[in-house]
Structure 1
Amino acid sequence: MKKYILLLMASALLFSCKTKTVTNVPIGTANEIAANAVFFSKIKEKSNFEQLKINSRVNIENGNFIPTLDATIYIENGQKVWMNMIAIFLNVGRGIATPEGIKGYEKWNKTYIESDFSYLNKLLNVNFIDYNSLQNLLLGKTFVPINEKDFILTKNAQGYRLTSSKNLKFENNGQTSEYRVIMDYSPDFDLNQVQLEDKNKTNQLEISYFNWTGFDNMKLPKNVKIIIKGTKTSQIFLENTRFESSKMDTPYSVPNNYTKTEIR
Structure 2
Amino acid sequence: MKKYILAAFSSLLLLSCKTQPSVEKKPVDVKAPVSSSAFISTVTKKSGFNQVKINSKVDVQTGNFIPTIDATIYIENGNKVWMNMTAVLFNVARGIATPSGIKGYEKWNKTYIESDFTYLNNLLNVNFLNYNSFQNLLTGKTFVPVNEQDFVLNKNMQGYALNSSKNQKVTVNGKTTEYKINLDYASNFDLNKVLLQEINSSNSLEVQYSNWNVFGTERFPQNVKIIIKGEKNGQVLIENTKFDFSTIQTPYSVPSGYTKVNIR
Query: TM-score, normalized by length of structure 2?
Result: 0.90
* Counterpart position of 1:3: 6
Counterpart of 1:156? 156
Cα RMSD after superposing both structures: 1.4
Matches of residues 94-173 of structure 1 in structure 2 within 5 Å?
94-173=94-173
1:27 match: none
Q: What's the offset of the Cα at 1:227?
A: 0.3
Q: Does structure 1 retain, via aligned residues, the 8 Å contact 2:163–2:181? A: yes
Alignment of 1:17-32 (within 5 A): none
CA distance in 2 between counterparts of 1:76 and 1:60 reads 25
Contact 1:223 1:238 in 2 (8 A): yes
Aligned pairs (5 A) from 1:186-205: 186-205=186-205
State the distance in 2 between where 1:210 and 1:257 align: 42
2:40 match: 40
1:40, distance to aligned residue in structure 2 (A): 1.4
Please say if residues 14 and 237 of structure 1, whose CA atoms lie closer than 8 Å, have aligned partners that are also in contact.
no
- Once the two structures are superposed, what CA deviation does each residue of 1:140-167 show, in whole Å capped at 9, x if it has no partner? 0000011111101000120000110111
Q: Is the Cα–Cα contact under 8 Å of residues 15 and 225 in structure 1 kept in the other structure?
A: no
**AA of the residue aligned to 1:84:** N
Is the 2:140–2:221 contact (alpha carbons within 8 Å) kept by the matching residues of 1? yes
Contact 1:127 1:176 in 2 (8 A): no
Instruction: Determine if the alignment matches structure 1 residue 55 to structure 2 residue 55.
Output: yes
Amino acid at match of 2:133: S
2:208 partner SS: strand
The equivalent of 2:64 in structure 1 is: 64
Alpha-carbon deviation of 1:74? 0.2
Aligned partner of 1:84 in structure 2 is 84
Q: Within 1, Cα distance between the matches of 2:188 and 2:122?
A: 32
Instruction: Give the counterpart letter for 1:7 in structure 2.
Output: S
Deviation at 1:230, TM superposition (A): 1.2
- 1:232 is displaced (CA, Å) by 4.5
2: CA distance, partners of 1:34 / 1:251? 45
Q: Do the aligned partners of 2:226 and 2:236 also contact (CA within 8 Å) in 1?
A: yes
1:189/1:69 CA distance change after superposition, 3 Å: same
TM-score normalised per structure 1: 0.90
Q: 4+ runs of 1 displaced by more than 3 Å?
A: 13-16
Does structure 1 retain, via aligned residues, the 8 Å contact 2:16–2:139? no
One-letter amino acid of the counterpart of residue 111, structure 1: T
- Secondary structure of the 1:97 match is strand
Gaps of 5+ in 2: 18-32
How far, CA to CA, are the matches of 1:69 and 1:8 in structure 2?
8
Q: How far does residue 168 in structure 1 lie from its aligned partner after superposition?
A: 0.6
Letter in 1 for 2:116: D
Give the corresponding residue for 1:216. Answer: 216
- Shift of residue 38, structure 1, vs aligned partner: 2.4
Alpha carbons of structure 1 residues 14 and 171: separation in structure 2 relative to 1, 3 Å: farther
Distance 2:215 2:35 in 1: 31
**Secondary structure at the counterpart of residue 227 of structure 1:** strand
Counterpart of 1:199, as a letter, is I
What per-residue deviation string (whole Å, max 9, x for no partner) do you get for residues 96-115 of structure 1? Answer: 00000000000000000000
Structure 2 Cα separation of the partners of residues 201 and 34 of structure 1: 34
Q: Is the 8 A contact 1:14 1:236 kept in 2?
A: no
Which residue does the alignment assign to 1:20?
none
Aligned length: 246
Determine the C-alpha separation between the residues in 2 that align with 1:216 and 1:116. Answer: 31
Q: Is the 8 A contact 1:206 1:228 kept in 2?
A: yes
SS in 1 for 2:134: helix
Which consecutive residues of structure 1, in runs of 5 or more, have no partner in the other structure?
A: 17-32
Aligned to 2:22: none
Determine the structure 2 residue equivalent to 1:26: none
